[in-house]
Amino acid sequence: MAAVFPTLMIVPTGIGCEIGGYAGDALPAARLLAAASGCLVTHPNVMNGAALYWSDERIFYVEGWGLDRFAAGELALRGGRRQRIGLLLDAAIEPCLRDRHLQVADACRATLGLEIGPVVTTDVALGVTLRQGESGVSWGSLEHPDALLRAGETLRDAGASAIAVVARFPDDCGSEALEAYRHGSGVDGLAGAEAVISHLLVRHLQIPCAHAPALAPLPLDPQLDPRAAAEELAHTFLPCVLVGLSRAPDLIQSATAQPGDLLASGLRALVVPEGALGGEAVLACLERNVPVIAVSNPSVLQVSSQSLGLEDRVIAAASYAEAAGLVLAMREGVALPSLQRPLVPLKPCSIARD
Tens digits of residue pLDDT in 31-83: 999 999 999 999 999 999 999 999 999 999 999 999 999 999 999 999 988 99
Inter-residue contact 302 to 278 (CB < 8 Å): no
Q: Where are the alpha helices (DSSP H) in the chain?
A: 27-37, 44-47, 64-71, 95-112, 145-157, 176-182, 191-205, 238-246, 280-287, 305-308, 320-331
Q: Does 26 have pLDDT greater than 90? A: yes
Residues near 84 by beta carbon (within 8 Å), at least 6 away in sequence: 115, 116, 117, 159, 160, 161, 162
**Mean pLDDT across the stretch 125-152?**
89
Q: Identify the CA nearest to 101 among candidates 288, 6, 193, 238.
A: 238
Residue 193 pLDDT: 86
Q: Does 107 have pLDDT greater than 60? A: yes
Q: Does 174 have pLDDT greater than 70? A: no
Residue 101 is which amino acid? H
- The tens digit of pLDDT for each residue in 256-314 reads 999 999 999 999 999 999 999 999 999 999 999 999 999 999 999 999 999 999 989 99
Inter-residue contact 25 to 227 (CB < 8 Å): yes
pLDDT range class, residue 231, cuts 50, 70, 90: confident
3-state SS class at 47: helix
Residues near 338 by beta carbon (within 8 Å), at least 6 away in sequence: none
Give first-to-last CA distance, the chain, whole Å: 48
Q: Does 354 have pLDDT greater than 80? A: no
| Distances from the Cα of 35 to the Cα of 56, 222, 353, angstroms | 10, 35, 50
Cα Rg, the chain, nearest whole Å: 21
Packing angle of the helix pair 238-246, 95-112 (nearest 10 deg): 40
Q: How many other CB atoms sit within 10 Å of the CB of residue 175?
A: 12
DSSP 8-class letter at 4: P
Sketch out the chain's domains with CATH numbers: 7-11+16-79+252-339 (3.40.50), 85-250 (3.40.50)
Residue 20 pLDDT: 95
Cα 143 from chain centre:
25
Lowest-confidence segment of 227-231, 303-307, 322-326 by average pLDDT = 227-231
Lowest-confidence segment of 110-114, 129-133, 165-169, 311-315 by average pLDDT = 129-133
User: Is the pTM here over 0.95, yes or no?
Assistant: no
Inter-residue contact 206 to 157 (CB < 8 Å): no
Q: How many other CB atoms sit within 10 Å of the CB of residue 266?
A: 14
Residue 124 pLDDT: 98
Residue 173 pLDDT: 65
Q: Does 2 have pLDDT greater than 80? A: no
CB-count exposure of residue 326 (10 Å: 0-12, 13-18, 19+): buried
| Distances from the Cα of 101 to the Cα of 104, 167, 238, 239, 246, angstroms | 5, 11, 7, 9, 17
Residue 221 pLDDT: 85
Prior bond of 118 cis (ω within 30°): yes
* Higher per-residue confidence, 79 vs 353: 79
Alpha-carbon span 179 to 183, nearest angstrom: 6
Q: Does 1 have pLDDT greater than 60? A: no
Residue 106 pLDDT: 98
Alpha-carbon span 322 to 295, nearest angstrom: 8
| Distances from the Cα of 84 to the Cα of 167, 206, 298, angstroms | 20, 15, 37
Q: Identify the CA nearest to 243 among candidates 50, 97, 68.
A: 50
